[in-house]
Amino acid sequence: MQIARINRLTPYFFLAPAIIVMAVALLYPIGYMVWASFLDWNPSQRIGEADFVGLRNYAKLLNDAAFLESFWVTVKFAAVVVVLEMILGVGLAMLLDRQLRGMTLLRTIFILPMMIAPIVVGLMWRYMYHPSVGLFNRTLKSFGLEPVPWLSDGTWAFASIVIADIWQWTPFIFILSLAALQSLPRSAMEAARIDGASGWQLIWFIKLPLMLPVLIVTALLRLIDAFKVLEVILVMTNGGPGLSTEILALRISRTASEFRELGTAAAMSNLLLILLMALTLAMFTYTKISEARAARLRAAASKDH
């Protein structure tokens, strides 16, 4: 009996060090941040010297026009880039899901942008958007067209950061979509071809429905990451002009470093964390539902046989 109990507890003994490290490295900082959000705290104070203000920091945010604008910019940015990246990534995967000479090299080239450091991406696109010597305006001038205020106009600046993000992260969608395509059962597609399905019908009625579970998880992963983007926008526009490209991560950084309001910055961080946790929970919930549905279908198929 004692040996059986030891055998049951043995895995937990091995897991204990990892659990302790995770608790210290993850839960303690989160708890620290949550507590700080209830304080009127600035960098000249220790956290124990800060005044407790309860929910005042959160109430302040709900009436802060700059915070609400940053929140709206973040939601708009995340929605636009994820939709466009999904369309382009899945389209590229469909296009390159075939055996052609040089296809391996082409696929490698497509994934290079996501391997570049975000700071480098920001600098690269900032120089290409330069009003006088940048690649884009020089190209427009060579065709006799007027230069575009890429980073000095609010609308164009937002479009500029969207383009940069699409360039960097469409390969992520492409890789996962291509993997999903190549794992599809060939028998279903061959049966559709025998029944006379055209190429578009094959994509719309066979490939995309079978890829849907992977595509939804991919979109949610990308959406979570889009809410956390910081470096590229910081280097390219620093949130300007005005607040046209200031996302929540940048507003949090500025509140803590420039405005020296650590309690308010912690409250912003908690709201962003809640939003990301909701998206993560949605992803896990969908995965569980998909697994349960697949199990029921397998069970029904085996019962029929």
Question: Which pLDDT belongs to residue 293?
Answer: 79
Q: Enter the tokens of residue 267.
A: 């409250």
Indicate the range of 76-80, 90-94, 143-147, 301-305 predicted with least confidence.
Answer: 301-305
137 pLDDT above the threshold of 90? yes
CA gap 277, 31 in Å, rounded: 15
DSSP assignment of 235-284 equals HHTTT-STTTT--HHHHHHHHHHTS--HHHHHHHHHHHHHHHHHHHHHHH
Indicate the range of 1-15, 48-62, 264-278 predicted with least confidence.
Answer: 1-15
Kindly indicate the confidence band of residue 156, based on its pLDDT and cuts at 50, 70 and 90: very high
Question: Which pLDDT belongs to residue 122?
Answer: 94
Least Cα distance to 35 among 267, 254, 233, 302 occurs for: 267
The residues near 98 (Cβ < 8 Å, ≥ 6 apart) are: none
CA gap 274, 188 in Å, rounded: 41
Question: Which pLDDT belongs to residue 26?
Answer: 83
Query: What phi and psi, each to the nearest 5 degrees, are found at residue 208?
Result: -65, -45
- Select the more confidently predicted residue: 295 or 203: 203
291 pLDDT above the threshold of 70? yes
Q: Decide if 168 contacts 232 (C-beta within 8 A).
A: yes
Considering only CA atoms, give the Rg of the chain.
25
| pTM metric for this prediction | 0.87
6 pLDDT above the threshold of 80? no
Question: Which pLDDT belongs to residue 11?
Answer: 79
Q: Is the dihedral of CA 95, 98, 101, 102 positive or negative?
A: positive
Q: Is the dihedral of CA 287, 86, 162, 77 positive or negative?
A: negative
CA gap 75, 294 in Å, rounded: 33
Q: What is the mean pLDDT of the chain?
A: 87
CA torsion angle 45 49 51 55 (round to 10): 80
First to last CA, the chain: 43
Question: Which pLDDT belongs to residue 169?
Answer: 94
Distances in whole angstroms, Cα of residue 302 to Cα of each of 210, 212, 299: 20, 24, 5
Q: pLDDT tens digits for 58-101?
A: 999 989 999 999 999 999 999 999 999 999 999 988 888 777 77
302 pLDDT above the threshold of 70? no
Query: What phi and psi, each to the nearest 5 degrees, are found at residue 173?
Result: -65, -40
Query: What phi and psi, each to the nearest 5 degrees, are found at residue 129?
Result: -90, 0
Indicate the range of 20-29, 48-57, 262-271 predicted with least confidence.
Answer: 20-29
Question: Which pLDDT belongs to residue 304?
Answer: 54
Domains and CATH numbers, the chain: 70-275 (1.10.3720.10)
Indicate the burial class of 90 (C-beta count within 10 angstroms; 0-12, 13-18, 19 or more): buried
Kindly indicate the confidence band of residue 217, based on its pLDDT and cuts at 50, 70 and 90: confident
Kindly indicate the confidence band of residue 57, based on its pLDDT and cuts at 50, 70 and 90: very high
Question: Which pLDDT belongs to residue 164?
Answer: 95
Distances in whole angstroms, Cα of residue 36 to Cα of each of 25, 48, 246, 277: 17, 10, 23, 19
1 pLDDT above the threshold of 80? no
Question: Which pLDDT belongs to residue 80?
Answer: 96
Q: Enter the tokens of residue 90.
A: 């899945």
**What are the residues facing 51 on neighbouring strands?**
40
Query: What phi and psi, each to the nearest 5 degrees, are found at residue 40?
Result: -95, 90
Please calculate the CA angle 235-238-240 and round it to the nearest 5 degrees. 135
Question: Which pLDDT belongs to residue 297?
Answer: 65
